[in-house]
Amino acid sequence: MAGEPETETEYGAEFFRAWLTAAAVAVDREADRLTELDSAIGDADHGANLKRGFAAVGATLEKEPPATPGAVLATAGRQLISTVGGASGPLFGTLLRRTGKALGEAPAVSRTTLAEALTAGVAAVAQLGGAQVGDKTMLDALTPAAEALRTSFAAAREAAEASALSTVPLLARKGRASYLGERSRGHQDPGATSSALLIAALAEVAA
């Protein structure tokens, strides 16, 4: 097909702050549900962990708004690592830090660039936690979401939400839920569920 190549929309620091603010609102709203999921196959702290972490992220970004998308994500990631005690703090923190690092110092980035950076962030989570897709962790939602983000924000959201649901029958192979063995089947993974909230917040601010 002939014609001009389509110019991709670029998203600046403000968009990324709006994303994490929307994520903080969603985590706050869904905290009880996340904790309920974690009470079935973990230690019932996932909602509280993320609520504390994302509230701290929101406060930091408001106090000292970073100037670039990369800096927004790196700052948020550091904040999650330092405020969340559970496994999910370092994992989500690494996701955001590594994604931010991959974005470099660009003042604005396209969705395609973000998709590539997020893929690097997801790879860092896999390396840190040693989990693979299918192990019933946050990676089950994040991996297909990063892939689908190459298509659209809405596709990323759909992929994350569908994949979070698809963790229900899986056997947990990493994290606390793995201690339950076969009894971990039949429950939705809390971290895959909160990952879907994070991606849904991204699609929401992009819409």
Contacting positions for Mg ion (CB under 5 A): 38, 42-43, 45-46, 86
Per-residue mark of binding to ligand ADP, 13-42 (x: CB under 6 A): -------------------------x---x
What, of ligand ADP, Mg ion, none, does residue 104 touch, CB below 5 to 8 Å by kind? none
101 vs 152: CA distance, rounded Å: 22
Residue 151, phi then psi, degrees to nearest 5 = -90, -55
Bridge partners of 108, per DSSP, are 12
Report the 10 Å Cβ neighbour count for 33: 16
Cβ burial, residue 101 (10 Å; 0-12/13-18/19+): middle
Cβ burial, residue 63 (10 Å; 0-12/13-18/19+): exposed
Site membership for ligand ADP, residue 129 (CB under 6 A): yes
Pick the binder of ligand ADP from 156, 190, 199, 206 (CB under 6 A): 190
Which helix (H) or strand (E) segment is 109 a member of?
strand 108-110
Pick the binder of ligand ADP from 15, 22, 46, 184 (CB under 6 A): 46
Nearer to ligand ADP, 8 or 32 (CB): 32
Query: Which parts of 134-173 interact with ligand ADP (CB under 6 A)?
Result: 137-139
* Site of interaction with ligand ADP (CB under 6 A): 38, 42-43, 45-46, 49, 86-88, 91, 125, 129-131, 137-139, 174-176, 189-192
